[in-house]
Copies of this chain bind each other. A is one copy, B any other.
Amino acid sequence: MNISADKNAVVLLSGGLDSATALAIAIDRGYHCHALSLDYGQRHRSELEAAQQVAQSMSVDLKTIQLDLRAFGGSALTDDIDVPEEEGEGIPVTYVPARNTIMLSLALAWAEVLEANDIFIGVNAVDYSGYPDCRPEFINAYEEMANLATKAAVVGNRLAIHTPLIDLSKADIIKQGTALGVDYALTVSCYQADTEGRACGVCDSCRIRAAGFEAAGIEDPTRYQTF
């Protein structure tokens, strides 16, 4: 497509399947991408290494910011709370308070310094875990706020938050990423992956991912722990 060559974009990259696909889409749209990863003290540390490998595989520079959200607690992803292994109701304990709000705010800071008007985030409102900060109405409100927050906004630059996955099923995300050459073997979605990045196969995130590969009719390259 290359409609936006020379345009900088900041892409949030977690190391999971969704954000890797969002990065591939941003590159395909012709953006010069700057990947941003957050080391927030997550228990699944191999996610951070996966982000590094995904960025490298797409020849994109990655900046990893340290921000220890364990200081606040309140999530199974940062705290000593067990990750659930069965489907539950409501917002799960793996929700990290205000994580997307914080990550978008860091992306906004970097975008402003880079003079970039585009931020990509791989949120998805279809096959997701029920997190409030993955919903389209949240993203829209964030974009409104961001357009009042910065020096760039004051001089009339319009910042856009791109959510290329928001309406896609997990299967469609996987199909699109596969078509763009994403190597999903590099990505880690599991909330309790081991130090080698091997998935548990039983948490929310693993279940949604496995079902996505099956529905897409694409072989699942995920490396699972053997019990």
Contacts and interface: CB of A to CB of B under 8 A. Distances in A.
Given A67-B67, A132-B150, A151-B132, A109 B97 contact: yes
Interface string A91-133: 1000101111110011011101100000000000000000011
A1 interface: no
A66 B41 CA distance: 12
A66 B63 contact: no
A200 to B, nearest CB: 24
B102 A109 contact: yes
Interface string A139-151: 0011011101111
A206 B67 CA distance: 31
B132 A95 contact: no
A30 interface: no
B112 A74 contact: yes
Interface string A78-100: 00000000000001000101111
Contact of A72 (B102, B113, B142, B153): B113
A215 interface: no
Given A102-B102, A132-B153, A153-B132, A112 B97 contact: yes
A69 interface: yes
A5 interface: no
Q: Which of A63, A105, A149 has the most CB of B within 10 A?
A: A149
17 contacts: A65-B67, A66-B68, A67-B67, A69-B109, A72-B113, A97-B110, A98-B109, A98-B112, A101-B109, A102-B106, A105-B105, A132-B151, A133-B148, A133-B149, A138-B145, A138-B148, A145-B145
Closest 8 pairs between A and B when the two form their complex, measured CB to CB:
A98-B109, A74-B113, A141-B145, A97-B112, A138-B148, A97-B109, A105-B105, A102-B105
